[in-house]
Amino acid sequence: MATIYWAGDSTVQYNDITTYPQTGIGQVLHLYLKPDVKISNHAKNGRSTKSFIDESRVPAIYDAITEGDFLFIQFGHNDEKIQDSTRYTEPYSDFMINLEKFVNVARNKKALPVLITPLERRNFDGQGKLTPGFHGDYVKAMKQTAVNLDVPLIDLYTMSREELTKAGDAESKSWYMNFPAGKYSSKPEGSEDNTHLQYAGAVRYAGCVAKGLKELGGVYKDLLLDELV
Protein backbone atom coordinates (compact mmCIF):
# COMPACT_ATOMS: atom_id res chain seq x y z
CA MET A 1 0.00 0.00 0.00
CA ALA A 2 1.05 3.60 -0.47
CA THR A 3 2.87 5.92 1.92
CA ILE A 4 1.65 9.43 2.67
CA TYR A 5 4.55 11.87 2.96
CA TRP A 6 3.69 15.09 4.73
CA ALA A 7 5.42 18.47 4.49
CA GLY A 8 4.15 21.14 6.84
CA ASP A 9 4.43 22.98 10.14
CA SER A 10 3.60 22.50 13.83
CA THR A 11 -0.09 21.89 13.17
CA VAL A 12 0.96 18.73 11.32
CA GLN A 13 4.19 17.55 12.97
CA TYR A 14 4.75 14.38 14.97
CA ASN A 15 5.38 15.22 18.63
CA ASP A 16 7.28 13.37 21.33
CA ILE A 17 7.41 13.80 25.12
CA THR A 18 9.38 17.05 24.78
CA THR A 19 6.33 18.80 23.34
CA TYR A 20 3.61 16.78 25.12
CA PRO A 21 0.63 17.13 25.03
CA GLN A 22 0.94 18.97 21.71
CA THR A 23 -0.32 16.75 18.89
CA GLY A 24 -0.12 17.27 15.14
CA ILE A 25 -2.76 16.34 12.60
CA GLY A 26 -0.26 14.12 10.84
CA GLN A 27 0.29 12.29 14.12
CA VAL A 28 -3.29 11.01 14.30
CA LEU A 29 -4.48 10.80 10.69
CA HIS A 30 -3.75 7.05 10.80
CA LEU A 31 -6.91 6.65 12.92
CA TYR A 32 -8.90 7.22 9.73
CA LEU A 33 -6.73 5.20 7.34
CA LYS A 34 -6.52 1.58 6.30
CA PRO A 35 -3.95 -0.26 8.48
CA ASP A 36 -1.50 -0.78 5.62
CA VAL A 37 -1.30 2.93 4.71
CA LYS A 38 1.89 4.40 6.12
CA ILE A 39 2.64 8.01 7.06
CA SER A 40 6.09 9.56 6.77
CA ASN A 41 5.70 12.86 8.60
CA HIS A 42 8.35 15.46 7.71
CA ALA A 43 6.43 18.45 9.10
CA LYS A 44 8.34 20.59 11.58
CA ASN A 45 7.39 23.22 14.09
CA GLY A 46 7.77 26.81 12.87
CA ARG A 47 8.51 26.07 9.24
CA SER A 48 7.21 27.92 6.22
CA THR A 49 7.55 26.83 2.61
CA LYS A 50 10.70 28.99 2.48
CA SER A 51 12.42 27.74 5.61
CA PHE A 52 11.44 24.12 4.91
CA ILE A 53 13.17 24.38 1.52
CA ASP A 54 16.12 26.49 2.75
CA GLU A 55 16.87 23.95 5.50
CA SER A 56 17.17 21.20 2.85
CA ARG A 57 14.24 19.22 4.23
CA VAL A 58 12.90 18.42 0.76
CA PRO A 59 15.61 15.98 -0.41
CA ALA A 60 14.70 13.47 2.31
CA ILE A 61 11.20 13.33 0.86
CA TYR A 62 12.41 13.26 -2.74
CA ASP A 63 14.81 10.39 -2.06
CA ALA A 64 12.17 8.23 -0.41
CA ILE A 65 8.88 8.93 -2.19
CA THR A 66 7.97 6.53 -5.00
CA GLU A 67 5.34 6.00 -7.66
CA GLY A 68 1.85 5.77 -6.21
CA ASP A 69 2.76 7.48 -2.94
CA PHE A 70 1.18 10.76 -1.81
CA LEU A 71 2.68 14.09 -0.79
CA PHE A 72 0.44 16.20 1.45
CA ILE A 73 1.56 19.86 1.40
CA GLN A 74 0.21 22.07 4.19
CA PHE A 75 1.72 25.50 4.87
CA GLY A 76 0.64 29.08 5.54
CA HIS A 77 0.95 29.81 9.26
CA ASN A 78 4.61 30.79 9.12
CA ASP A 79 4.75 32.03 5.54
CA GLU A 80 2.68 35.00 6.68
CA LYS A 81 5.19 36.15 9.35
CA ILE A 82 6.30 39.30 7.54
CA GLN A 83 8.63 40.34 10.37
CA ASP A 84 10.77 37.21 9.85
CA SER A 85 12.78 37.25 6.62
CA THR A 86 13.82 33.61 7.10
CA ARG A 87 10.19 32.46 6.84
CA TYR A 88 8.05 35.10 5.16
CA THR A 89 6.79 34.59 1.61
CA GLU A 90 4.60 36.95 -0.39
CA PRO A 91 1.40 34.96 -0.98
CA TYR A 92 0.94 35.55 -4.71
CA SER A 93 4.56 35.12 -5.71
CA ASP A 94 7.06 33.29 -3.49
CA PHE A 95 4.45 31.20 -1.71
CA MET A 96 2.93 29.96 -4.95
CA ILE A 97 6.36 29.33 -6.47
CA ASN A 98 7.38 27.27 -3.44
CA LEU A 99 4.18 25.26 -3.50
CA GLU A 100 4.93 24.39 -7.11
CA LYS A 101 8.35 23.11 -6.04
CA PHE A 102 6.69 20.68 -3.62
CA VAL A 103 4.23 19.59 -6.30
CA ASN A 104 7.11 18.91 -8.68
CA VAL A 105 8.87 16.78 -6.06
CA ALA A 106 5.88 14.45 -6.08
CA ARG A 107 5.24 14.48 -9.79
CA ASN A 108 8.87 13.92 -10.71
CA LYS A 109 8.67 10.66 -8.78
CA LYS A 110 5.22 9.76 -10.14
CA ALA A 111 3.66 10.36 -6.74
CA LEU A 112 0.44 12.26 -6.09
CA PRO A 113 0.56 15.76 -4.55
CA VAL A 114 -2.32 17.11 -2.45
CA LEU A 115 -2.47 20.74 -1.32
CA ILE A 116 -4.06 21.34 2.10
CA THR A 117 -5.02 24.87 3.12
CA PRO A 118 -3.75 26.01 6.54
CA LEU A 119 -5.66 25.23 9.70
CA GLU A 120 -7.53 28.20 11.13
CA ARG A 121 -6.41 29.71 14.41
CA ARG A 122 -8.93 29.76 17.23
CA ASN A 123 -9.90 33.38 17.81
CA PHE A 124 -13.32 34.47 19.09
CA ASP A 125 -14.42 38.03 19.80
CA GLY A 126 -16.06 39.32 22.98
CA GLN A 127 -19.46 38.17 21.76
CA GLY A 128 -18.26 34.62 21.21
CA LYS A 129 -18.18 34.94 17.43
CA LEU A 130 -15.31 33.56 15.36
CA THR A 131 -13.35 36.49 13.94
CA PRO A 132 -12.42 36.88 10.26
CA GLY A 133 -9.76 34.42 9.19
CA PHE A 134 -6.04 34.95 9.55
CA HIS A 135 -4.83 33.16 6.44
CA GLY A 136 -6.97 34.68 3.70
CA ASP A 137 -4.41 35.52 1.01
CA TYR A 138 -2.48 32.30 1.60
CA VAL A 139 -5.64 30.25 1.28
CA LYS A 140 -6.54 32.05 -1.94
CA ALA A 141 -3.00 31.65 -3.29
CA MET A 142 -2.98 27.93 -2.52
CA LYS A 143 -6.35 27.47 -4.19
CA GLN A 144 -5.10 29.33 -7.25
CA THR A 145 -2.00 27.13 -7.32
CA ALA A 146 -4.21 24.06 -7.21
CA VAL A 147 -6.11 25.35 -10.24
CA ASN A 148 -2.97 26.42 -12.13
CA LEU A 149 -1.25 23.08 -11.61
CA ASP A 150 -4.34 20.85 -11.62
CA VAL A 151 -3.58 19.55 -8.13
CA PRO A 152 -6.21 18.13 -5.75
CA LEU A 153 -6.92 20.39 -2.78
CA ILE A 154 -8.40 19.81 0.66
CA ASP A 155 -9.79 23.02 2.13
CA LEU A 156 -8.94 22.44 5.79
CA TYR A 157 -9.12 26.17 6.42
CA THR A 158 -12.82 26.34 5.60
CA MET A 159 -13.65 23.07 7.33
CA SER A 160 -11.80 24.09 10.50
CA ARG A 161 -13.69 27.39 10.62
CA GLU A 162 -16.93 25.44 10.33
CA GLU A 163 -15.86 23.16 13.20
CA LEU A 164 -14.89 26.12 15.38
CA THR A 165 -18.15 27.91 14.67
CA LYS A 166 -20.21 24.85 15.56
CA ALA A 167 -18.28 24.15 18.76
CA GLY A 168 -18.03 27.74 19.96
CA ASP A 169 -15.49 29.50 22.13
CA ALA A 170 -15.67 27.40 25.29
CA GLU A 171 -15.79 23.92 23.78
CA SER A 172 -13.09 24.53 21.17
CA LYS A 173 -10.61 25.79 23.77
CA SER A 174 -9.83 22.20 24.78
CA TRP A 175 -8.70 21.44 21.22
CA TYR A 176 -5.75 23.82 21.49
CA MET A 177 -2.73 24.13 23.78
CA ASN A 178 -4.36 26.43 26.32
CA PHE A 179 -2.83 25.85 29.76
CA PRO A 180 -1.82 28.01 32.73
CA ALA A 181 1.76 29.25 32.63
CA GLY A 182 4.15 26.54 33.84
CA LYS A 183 1.80 23.69 32.91
CA TYR A 184 2.91 22.56 29.44
CA SER A 185 3.34 26.22 28.58
CA SER A 186 5.99 28.92 28.82
CA LYS A 187 3.50 31.63 27.93
CA PRO A 188 2.66 34.33 30.51
CA GLU A 189 -0.28 33.70 32.82
CA GLY A 190 -3.55 34.49 31.10
CA SER A 191 -2.24 34.21 27.52
CA GLU A 192 -3.60 31.61 25.13
CA ASP A 193 -2.14 29.34 22.49
CA ASN A 194 -4.77 29.18 19.77
CA THR A 195 -2.55 27.68 17.08
CA HIS A 196 -1.00 24.47 18.42
CA LEU A 197 -3.23 21.47 19.01
CA GLN A 198 -3.63 18.88 21.67
CA TYR A 199 -5.01 15.41 20.97
CA ALA A 200 -8.72 16.23 20.78
CA GLY A 201 -8.15 19.02 18.28
CA ALA A 202 -5.74 17.01 16.17
CA VAL A 203 -8.23 14.15 15.91
CA ARG A 204 -11.03 16.59 15.05
CA TYR A 205 -9.07 18.21 12.23
CA ALA A 206 -7.62 14.94 10.97
CA GLY A 207 -11.26 13.98 10.50
CA CYS A 208 -11.62 17.02 8.27
CA VAL A 209 -8.68 15.83 6.17
CA ALA A 210 -10.29 12.39 5.96
CA LYS A 211 -13.52 14.04 4.82
CA GLY A 212 -11.54 15.87 2.15
CA LEU A 213 -9.99 12.62 0.94
CA LYS A 214 -13.42 11.05 0.70
CA GLU A 215 -14.70 13.99 -1.33
CA LEU A 216 -11.74 13.72 -3.73
CA GLY A 217 -12.75 10.12 -4.39
CA GLY A 218 -10.76 7.52 -6.31
CA VAL A 219 -7.32 6.64 -4.96
CA TYR A 220 -7.66 9.31 -2.26
CA LYS A 221 -10.84 7.80 -0.85
CA ASP A 222 -9.25 4.35 -1.07
CA LEU A 223 -6.82 5.38 1.68
CA LEU A 224 -9.65 5.53 4.23
CA LEU A 225 -11.05 2.81 6.45
CA ASP A 226 -13.85 0.96 4.71
CA GLU A 227 -16.22 2.01 7.49
CA LEU A 228 -15.72 5.68 6.54
CA VAL A 229 -16.61 5.36 2.87
What are the residues facing 5 on neighbouring strands?
Answer: 40, 71
For residue 10, which of 27, 20, 24, 28 has the smallest C-alpha distance?
A: 24
Query: What CA–CA distance (Å, rounded) separates 45 from 53?
Result: 14
CA distance 60 to 79: 21
Catalytic (active-site) positions: 10, 192, 196
Task: Confirm if 30 and 65 have CB atoms less than 8 A apart.
Answer: no
Would you state the torsion angle of the CA atoms of residues 180, 183, 188, 189, taken in this order, to the nearest 10 degrees? 30
Q: How far is residue 213's CA from residue 223's CA, in Å, rounded to a whole number?
A: 8
Residues with Cβ within 8 Å of 155's Cβ and at least 6 positions away in sequence, in order, are: 117, 139, 143, 212
Torsions phi, psi for 38 (to 5 deg): -100, 155
CA dist list (Å): 185 to 19, 26, 179: 10, 22, 6
